[in-house]
Amino acid sequence: MENTVLTESGKTCLQGLLKVWLDFDLSLNKVPIIQRLEQNRLSVEDYQKLLLNLRQQVVEGSRWISRSASSFDRHYSDVRSTVIHHATEEHRDYLLLEADYVAAGGLLTEIQSAKKNIGSEALHGFLMYRSSQPNPVDLIGAMWIIEGLGNKMASRWAKLISQQFTFEKSATSFMEYHGNNDENHMRELYQLIDRVATSTKNVDDIIRTSKVVAKLYQLQLEEIDNG
């Protein structure tokens, strides 16, 4: 990958973020439903539950991104433009996810009426709170984790699911979508890191938020089996 983070503090931030991501990636292997996915022991019901539980986070995702855009003042208008663009691109992703759920044998009304699980509640609550703060640059850390997971879903999980199941229609379009758009999103993210990781405080805040989001995302996945 072409290296787009150029400033020294941007590089420090990136190292910290990559470490948080790799820690998160490893800890995902402890989540029972992900263990089953990784070890080819996922049932169709599991896959349906996975989509059903991810939907709320995806629906709410574009909301906190939009909210954070409105919290950036004129000194960050360029960041605001990028974030708005990002929200525009992703705010209807949940429709893909719903279609996948139906293709995997689920009922549309079921996924549409499902409530957030405890982890999704916590994740969404935290993200809405942070995005309501003035100039919430730390949310770059949240985007880093969520984009990273999008990439993992696209490159690994979608492949594993396709190996395990045969559906009449594609039932992994949501996961695969991230793979097709990932490169642009990551480039935008790298540019954002360079733009906002300009002080030790900002770097620390970004890394801290990435850790919180990683932990709450993990909780969201753990809660799938508790529903």
Partner 1 sequence: MDVYINSTGHYLPGDAVGNESIEDILGLIHGKKSRLKNKILKSNGIVQRHYAINEQQETKISNSDMAATAGIDCINNSYLSPAKIQMLSCATSQGDMILPGFGSMVQAALNLSEIELHTSHGICSSSMMALKVAVNNIKCEDSDNALVVASELTSRLFKHSRYEQLDSNEVDFNAEFLRWMLSDGAGAILLENRPRAMATSIKIDWITSFSHANVLPVCMSVGRAKNEEDKTWQDYQSYADAEKAGALMLRQDVRLLEHIVAIGVQGFLKLIAQGKIIPSKIDHVLCHFSSKYFKSKIFDMLDTASISIPESKWYTNLYQRGNTGCAAIFIMLDEFIKTHDLKAGETIFCMVPESGRFNCAYMHLTVAG
- Interacting span for partner 1 (CB under 8 A) from 1-9, 112-120, 122-130, 173-181: 1-9
Q: What are the E-state strand segments in the chain? A: none
Q: Which residues contact 42 (CB under 8 A, 6 or more apart)?
A: 33, 36, 160, 161, 164
Give residues 36-55 in contact with partner 1 (rule: CB under 8 A).
38-39
Identify which range of 16-24, 73-81, 120-128, 165-173 contacts partner 1 by CB under 8 A: 16-24
With CB under 8 A, what is the number of residues at the site for partner 1? 19
Structure tokens at 62: 């574009």
Q: Which residues contact 8 (CB under 8 A, 6 or more apart)?
A: none
- Choose which of 25, 121, 204, 225 interacts with partner 1 (CB under 8 A): 25
Give yes or no for residue 15 binding partner 1 (CB under 8 A).
yes
Q: Given the complex with partner 1, which of 22 and 107 has the nearer CB atom?
A: 22
Q: Which is nearer to partner 1, 11 or 91 (CB)?
A: 11
- Residues ≥6 apart with Cβ < 8 Å to 53: 114, 117, 120, 220, 221, 223, 224, 227
- The rounded distance, in Å, linking the Cα atoms of 31 and 19 is 19
Short-list 46, 102, 83, CA closest to 185? 83
With contacts defined by CB under 8 A, name the span among 2-10, 113-121, 134-142, 170-178 that binds partner 1.
Answer: 2-10
- Counting contacts by CB under 8 A, is residue 61 touching partner 1? no
Instruction: Let me know: does 40 contact 160? Beta carbons within 8 Å.
Output: yes
Q: Provide the b/e sequence for 6-27 (b: ≥16 CB within 10 Å).
A: eeebbeebbebbeebbeebeee
Residue 11 interacts with partner 1 (CB under 8 A)?
A: yes
Does 200 sit near partner 1 (CB under 8 A)? Answer: no
Interface with partner 1 includes 187 (CB under 8 A)? Answer: no
By the rule CB under 8 A, 22 interacts with partner 1? yes
Q: Is 70 in the site for partner 1 (CB under 8 A)?
A: no
Residues contributing to the site for partner 1 (CB under 8 A):
1, 3, 5, 10-11, 14-16, 18-19, 22-23, 25-27, 29-30, 38-39
